[in-house]
Amino acid sequence: MSAVKALLARKPTVLKVLSASGQLGYGIPEQALAAGLAREPDFIGCDMGSVDPGPVYLGSGEMATSPSITKRDLAAVLIGARKLNVPLIIGTAGTAGAAPHLEATLDMIREIAREHSLHFRLATIRSDLTATRVGQALAAGELKALGGNLPVTQTDLDACANLVGQIGCAPFERALALEPDVIIAGRACDTAVFASLPKMMGFDMANVMHMAKIIECTSICCEPGGRDAMLATLDAKGFSLESMNPARRATPLSVAAHSLYEQADPISFTEPDGTLKVDAARYTALDERRTHVTGATWQSATRTTIKVEGSALVGHRAVLLAGTADPRFIAQLRPILATVEQTTRGLVAGDYEIYPRLYGLDGVALWTQAPGPQAAREVFILIEIIARAPDLAMAAAKTFKQFLLHQGFSGRQCTGGNIAFPFTPPELVGGPAYRFAAYHVMPADDHEQLFPVSIEQI
């Protein structure tokens, strides 16, 4: 009997959910995972991705995590789940959840199965979208930027190397209906990974979603926060939380505070299946390390909405790295850079963008700087160049470097050179550069057709 079928047949009234990883592939802490498995959870969930690391991974189809550590983490949760014969659900395969990420993850899963002689039913959920389908929403005026300003055209959508829809519970429920042991999904809501099974089993949706929202980040909701596996236990009234690392305490305040994490609104969360509100939630300490949560509310959506993420190539990046400590050079740095850019453009023809960052002055700030002179003992100069062709970006970087080294300026005494190189070459290949071309929400009444589910015997 498959793990999902066995769990659905058993119908436990108290459900133990183990969150093994908030982003699988960076190294799952072993002790806490072992402690979690020893508690015999009813199922294991892992999130494997995020938009945090930027548009490059969705665009390139690469993982942000290293192949060897990713495979190690996958093996740890797969072997653990098979030993207990409990369902394993993994969302946002391979960092960004597009087809290449999903394929690479499935390859690793099959390889681990061979190496450890594991046999199981594997369900797969795809979440790639076509530019044509997203374009329909755009044409209908139903494609809305999520939380900021990102104008998008059909040309932008067509330019996306990968476009994905972030799936909610419904595709997982279709996968669960196939009675698998393991589900690997493309781009998925972190919550859906943990909410779909308890939802299907009839647990109260407000508690299920609130639980899922908190444990998808494992022990980040604790004091002190960390990446150790987290156990949630759903009961008839709510759920309790416990970190599998004894040093981490889930306190009422630390759990409540987690509602703020990476959210624009700490009180109301819109998911494809509905909206969770936590303003009436109550957090009660069971002891020093465990908190029980009740009282969130859930409103099911009348129409399914899907978040669309797309990443488009903008060119190829070359990066120049240099430092300086000369006070007169630092004082005149901005006009000097403008002059060197002009010289570079005069010598290296073509279409490219130059973005300087001046660390020590304002390399980090996106805020409004106070006017007036800035004093810095040293400044780190990072020059980013993006061109259509990698060779052009590198040509501009090399020329920029040499003219910056020897550029004259008023009162110059450092005629040996204006900048210090930490190593050579100081110009590095940055690879293909991408941008998020879509980060929007669209209605998806056709979500059953958009996200196909398949099953295979491993």
- Please give the residue ranges that form the binding site for other proteins (CB under 8 A): 51-56, 145-150, 253, 256-257, 259-267, 278, 281, 283, 314-315, 353, 355, 357, 363-368, 384, 386, 433-436, 439
Q: How far is the CB of 94 from other proteins (least distance, A)?
A: 18
Q: How far is the CB of 251 from other proteins (least distance, A)?
A: 11
**Residue 62 burial (10 A CB sphere; 0-12, 13-18, 19+):** middle
Q: How far is the CB of 12 from other proteins (least distance, A)?
A: 29
Nearer to other proteins, 261 or 338 (CB): 261
Q: How far is the CB of 59 from other proteins (least distance, A)?
A: 9
Q: What is the CA radius of gyration of the chain?
A: 25
Contact between 183 and 90 (Cβ < 8 Å): yes
Nearer to other proteins, 1 or 253 (CB): 253
**What totals of helices (H) and strands (E) does the chain contain, helices first?**
15, 19
Nearer to other proteins, 295 or 323 (CB): 295
**DSSP 8-class letter at 219:** G
Q: Which two tokens stand for residue 109?
A: 């899963």
Q: Which two tokens stand for residue 458?
A: 């491993």
Nearer to other proteins, 260 or 286 (CB): 260
Contact between 385 and 332 (Cβ < 8 Å): no
Nearer to other proteins, 295 or 417 (CB): 295
Cis previous bond, 422, omega within 30: no
Q: How far apart are CA 136 and CA 138, in angstroms?
A: 5
Q: How far apart are CA 69 and CA 48, in angstroms?
A: 12
**DSSP 8-class letter at 260:** G
Contact between 318 and 428 (Cβ < 8 Å): yes
Nearer to other proteins, 346 or 363 (CB): 363
